[in-house]
């Protein structure tokens, strides 16, 4: 989707997204906080202690829906949000304090190995296939050696995901990525794969079964998946 089209959705993004998510019985906040908490648990398991993250990049941040949780759940000292939509960034800037956050368009960001962690959710299915390797390299150059990249995408192997995306105007024509495709993309940029999980198996009506989701994360069938990768030291 072109930046101007994202600008067009800046004021209605949340309502358009919720129109798709209504089939799950949950709000977008449920998924946003769930993704960040999952990343925190994975990092804690990998490094053996709560991660220390002075600087976090939220790539494709939109209006900033993940930023509050990157600050609260990951205890990030500072979050920089990058997006192609200036209208979305205007809204994000209005939501968060300037001492904890910054929001800039991608053309104004100079990748210089300044971030401990990069985070993105549902961004790459909007990027033209031929441009994806270049964008991953852009993120790679933004991360410190030894830093992490939490790459979340919608799982095309999940029927519920396809239904949700068909109900969202800006997702209907998106070209999704399977887990193997995402792994190849990330490894091609030089990242090392630290783990792959799929999440969000049960809608609200089956919420009693959600404690089982960590046991199912190895199955490639959840509504979304995380490929957690690390930049070599």
For the entire predicted model, the pTM comes to 0.93
Task: State the residue for tokens 């804690």.
Answer: 44
Tell me the H-state helices in the chain.
Answer: 3-9, 13-21, 28-47, 67-72, 86-95, 132-142, 159-166, 179-188, 213-216
Q: Where in the chain are the domains?
A: 3-230
CA distance 189 to 74: 25
Reply yes or no on whether the pLDDT at 17 is more than 90. Answer: no
- Give the pLDDT mean for 2-17: 66
End-to-end CA distance of the chain: 34
pLDDT of residue 6: 67
Reported as a single tens digit per residue, the pLDDT across 78-93 is: 999 999 999 999 999 9
Q: 199: which strand partners?
A: 224
Joined tokens for residue 233: 């030291």
The encoded tokens of residue 139 equal 């993120």
- Report pLDDT digits (tens) over 148-195: 999 999 999 999 999 999 998 888 889 999 999 999 999 999 999 999
CATH number given to 3-230: 3.40.50.150
Average pLDDT, the chain: 93
pLDDT category of residue 107 using cuts at 50, 70 and 90: confident
């Amino acid at each position: 989707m072109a930046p101007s089209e994202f600008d067009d959705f800046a004021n209605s993004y949340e309502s358009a997204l919720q129109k798709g998510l209504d089939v799950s019985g949950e709000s977008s906040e449920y998924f946003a906080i769930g993704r960040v908490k999952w990343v925190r648990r994975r990092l804690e398991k990998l490094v053996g202690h709560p991660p220390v993250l002075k600087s976090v990049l939220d790539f494709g941040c939109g209006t900033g829906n993940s930023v509050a949780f990157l600050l609260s759940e990951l205890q990030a000292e500072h979050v920089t949000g990058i997006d192609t939509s200036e209208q979305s960034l205007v809204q994000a800037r209005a939501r968060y304090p300037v001492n904890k956050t910054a929001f800039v368009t991608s053309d104004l960001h100079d990748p210089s190995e300044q971030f401990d962690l990069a985070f993105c959710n549902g961004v790459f299915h909007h990027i033209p296939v031929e441009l994806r390797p270049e964008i991953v390299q852009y993120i790679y150059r933004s991360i410190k050696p030894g830093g992490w990249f939490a790459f979340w995408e919608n799982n095309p192997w999940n029927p519920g995901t396809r239904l949700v995306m068909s109900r969202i105007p800006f997702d209907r024509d998106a070209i999704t990525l399977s887990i193997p495709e995402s792994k190849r993309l990330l490894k091609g940029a030089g990242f090392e794969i630290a783990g792959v999980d799929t999440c969000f198996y049960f809608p609200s009506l089956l919420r009693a079964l959600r404690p089982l989701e960590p046991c199912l994360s190895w199955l490639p069938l959840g509504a979304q998946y995380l490929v957690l990768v690390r930049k070599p030291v």
